[in-house]
Amino acid sequence: MSRLSTTRAAVRRLSIAIAVTASAVLLTASPAAAHVEVESGKAQALAENVEVSFDAESESSTAGITEIRVVLPEGIAPADVAYGEGPKGWKFTANGDGYTVKGPAVKAGVNAEYSVVVKQLPDAKELAFKTLQTYSDGRTDRWIELDESGEQPAPVLKLTAAAAGAKAASPTPSETASQSVSPSAEEPEPSSSPVAEAETKDDGGLSAGAWIGIGAVVVVAAGGAFYLVRRRGATSV
């Protein structure tokens, strides 16, 4: 085999090694397929006093879930939602665009399950509950994408058609007034919505460290290939 053929073969082997290494980094850095699930035994448009259950899957083996914040879909006001059941010690607080349930961290690796009761579901085919899930180490998962095939889809409740004769209930004056009252000083309303927070800080996909690692692998491998080609060329002179 000529020296040129030998050099080309070495470059090909190095290219394969680069591809394999980059793939390994990508696979290692990929996020787990955890998510938040929502269900109800009375998932029907315009149904009243509906219990809606949520199951926030844990994606950490070292930190427990401490808080879940939900942006309610159009047609459901925070004043129309009451707390059902949840992890021991957790409390429910209404926000300007939804609600928050939080408390002592659940055990690491354990899902956070809770329920709320909605006064009346809106006349819709499905309801998306955009969710922020926070852990005891400060990490926040943002399940807010409306595309169900996305990496961080929001939990969606499918509804059947409204019963014959069902009508939307009009809010009472007290409910309308309660929606305009600001949260108490002890439970301040978050300054931005999950959508805004996701635009400024996104935990999904690859981390910056992963991309830096991939770049380093490519640069080092490319430098090695260049050196090898130069060395082969110099030897052949």
Each residue's pLDDT tens digit, 111-130: 999 999 999 999 999 999 99
**DSSP H helices in the chain:** 3-29, 173-180, 194-200, 208-236
Alpha-carbon distance of 214 to 212, in angstroms, equals 5
**What confidence score (pLDDT) does residue 98 get?**
98
Which parts of the chain have pLDDT scores under 50?
11, 19-32, 172-191, 199-212, 217-221, 225-229, 237
**What confidence score (pLDDT) does residue 34 get?**
66
Tokens (6 digits) for 51? 């219990």
Q: How far is CA 167 from each of CA 121, 123, 126, 171, rounded to the nearest angstrom? A: 11, 9, 17, 12
pLDDT digits (tens, 9 = 90+) for 138-187: 999 999 999 988 899 999 999 999 999 999 986 644 444 444 433 333 34
Tokens (6 digits) for 178? 């309660």
